Structure 1
Amino acid sequence: MNIKFNNRDPVYIQVIRHFKEQIATGIFEPGQEIPSRRELANQLKINPNTAQRAYKEMEEQGLIFTERNLPSRITNNPEVIKAVREELILEAVHSFIASVQSINVPLDEALQLIKNHYEKSLEEQEGDA
């Protein structure tokens, strides 16, 4: 597991975001076992208390679950997974909208540019495969 931490956001928040991205993209599958808090702290070279705080928050959000003394796992709840994906998409959309509005790009032009770039990106991905 590899995360590039920034200096703006608390580390535990960045860990949670990483897990959300991995869940939304399907890299972490429903029910998949994840590293223990101590293992995660060692892998990411962060304080074990930071890993503990991230896991606690993710459990409260329903992203992960821990049964008795078994390893923690990614949620099996499709509604939670769908909500995580929508949350990340909306964050990107809000950021994009703020950027294009600040330079007065008309909606039609922005949508056409998105469509063209998206399709070009898909073609490039297919060419790499």
Structure 2
Amino acid sequence: MTSTLNAAPGLHPGLGAMVHEQLTALAQRYDDAAERLGALGHRVGGLGQAHGAWTGPGSRAFRARVERHERTLARDVETCREAARSVRWAAAVLAERLAALETAAELGAPLVSVLSTLLGPGVVLPSLGSERRG
């Protein structure tokens, strides 16, 4: 997919493409956060192993805290990955639906023009909802 910023001059990317691009970038940020949290979890685990032989005062509390942080970070990594999957799914669905709406809008304007030409002047066209009847 061509980036919306790199679209050829004079060509405007569709709204669906822009939404897809932005949401995909958001999903990538979630993936990046998951990677960073995973690396942090490994460092915390390494810290716990490096001090594993320590049996002094507070050693059990320290190991328990390290294990708790490892579990919390692992849950956070999975949450970020799940969020990235959900955002990617939403990006695909929204882009598809917006593209369909854009196609309908592109087809609609010429169709109205042709119908008014065929049916003649004075044809009442349906309101687009901009007017309110009292």
TM over 0.5: no
TM-score scaled to structure 2, two decimals?
0.28
More helix by share: 2
Asked which structure has the greater RCO (Cα within 8 Å, sep 6+), the reply is: 2
TM-score scaled to structure 1, two decimals?
0.29
